[in-house]
């Protein structure tokens, strides 16, 4: 993981099965809460919660997202990305967009 405060980005270095190295970059990263980072971290998926998703407010409540961020997510200014682990790292990132590069 890397944080670029000047560029306002949060990056995860990944190794994808049968595809090799890649980078997951959250652009316009405004807030995040990441837990359980350990020696082994296996991501199962990334759940995307945006204004267009009907249950976005409920997802924010389940993750205890601050009301300030919930308003911006529901208004469509930002998106909530929930990190779904198989092992290790879990949590969320609130950002403008995400991109997977290097694949």
Interatomic CA distance for residues 16 and 55, integer angstroms:
30
Render pLDDT for 66-93 as a digit per residue (tens, 0 to 9): 999 999 999 999 999 999 988 888 899 9
Which pair of tokens denotes residue 94? 């609130």
pTM for the structure as a whole: 0.90
pLDDT (tens digit, 9 = 90+) per residue, 43-63? 888 999 999 999 999 999 999
Q: Which residues pair with 84 in a beta bridge?
A: 45
Contact 60, 85 (CB under 8 A): no
* pLDDT tens, position by position, 2-46: 999 999 999 999 988 888 999 999 999 999 999 978 778 888 889
């Amino acid at each position: 993981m890397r944080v670029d405060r000047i560029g306002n980005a949060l990056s995860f270095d990944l190794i994808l099965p049968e595809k090799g190295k890649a980078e997951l970059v959250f652009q316009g990263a405004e807030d995040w809460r990441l837990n359980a980072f350990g020696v082994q971290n296996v991501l199962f998926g990334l759940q995307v919660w945006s204004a267009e998703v009907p249950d976005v407010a409920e997802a924010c409540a389940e993750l205890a997202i601050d009301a300030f961020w919930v308003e911006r997510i529901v208004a469509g200014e930002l998106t909530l990305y929930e990190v779904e682990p198989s092992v290790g790292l879990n949590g969320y990132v609130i950002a403008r967009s995400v991109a997977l590069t290097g694949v």
